[in-house]
Amino acid sequence: MKNPYEIGESIYLRSLEAEDIEGPWYEWFSDYELTKFLGDRFLPNSKKKQADFFNSINDHSSIIFAIIDKETDKHIGVCSLSGVNWFHRYSDIALIMGSKEPQHKVVAIEAMRLLLNIAFVRLKLLNLRASYAVTNLPSATLLSLFRFEKVGLYKNLCYFDGKYTDVGLSQLTRSDWLVRNSLNLDD
């Protein structure tokens, strides 16, 4: 493992590094299947654009993690806490699995677990927000599995996968997360 920040059974999360630009990361954002439900990734990506993005990351308000396979040390996805508001203690959450290898089919659940642990334990955030195209069933199901509560809906807001689509808004509070995981942290 190299520079792990949060370690799970089969994966770990670490900070993005400049060398990640050379790997598969930039290619994921040209892949239609991976990007068809993303709000701002509708143009072809390139190493140059990914390098520009990497250099623009503001660590204070946007914390982006590489998802790494522990066994191979391969970069297989990214997840983030973005728009972090340190006064109100909330952020937006996102997760993209880039790998299509069979052994990584169910890794999103572990990545989400690690990310929630970072948000609610290490960073002590109080609320997480997520938005998703209602037709994006994997995202909607993942959020539902982790008990994100649907709190709103934008009608026909975004043009995803060939049609205007409703965008759901959901929220997970730290207190609900603590109860569901039977955690009683000493705050």
Partner 1 sequence: MNCEISVDLKIKEITSSVLSLPLEKINDNLSPANCDQWDSLRHMNLISAIEDQFEISFSDHEMSEMINLIKITILTKAKLK
Q: At its nearest, how many Å lie between partner 1 and the CB of residue 141?
A: 4
Whether 112 and 146 have beta carbons less than 8 Å apart is answered as: yes
Q: Between β-strands 75-85 and 127-133, what pairing exists: parallel, antiparallel or unpaired? A: unpaired
Helix (H) or strand (E) holding 16: none
- Please identify, using beta-carbon distances, which residue of 21 and 140 lies nearer to partner 1: 140
Nearer to partner 1 by Cβ, of 26 and 120: the residue is 120
Distance of closest approach, residue 85 Cβ to partner 1, in angstroms: 23
In the complex, which residues of this chain contact partner 1 (CB under 8 A)? 8-10, 97, 102-103, 105-106, 108-110, 112-113, 116-117, 137-138, 141-142, 144-146, 180-182
The nearer residue to partner 1, 59 or 138, going by C-beta atoms, is 138
Shortest CB 21 distance to partner 1, Å: 26
Evaluate the CA torsion angle 150, 105, 96, 6 in order and state its sign. Answer: positive
Alpha helices in 17-106 (DSSP H): 25-28, 32-35, 47-56
Instruction: Identify which of residues 62 and 135 has a Cβ nearer to partner 1 in the complex.
Output: 135
100 half-sphere exposure, CB direction, 13 A CA radius: 6
User: Do 174 and 185 contact (CB within 8 A), yes or no?
Assistant: no
Q: In the numeric block, which tokens belong to residue 86? A: 């340190």
Shorter beta-carbon distance to partner 1: residue 57 or 126: 126
d(CA 143, CA 168): 11
Smallest distance, partner 1 to C-beta of residue 49, A: 27
Report, in Å, the least distance between residue 139 CB and partner 1.
10
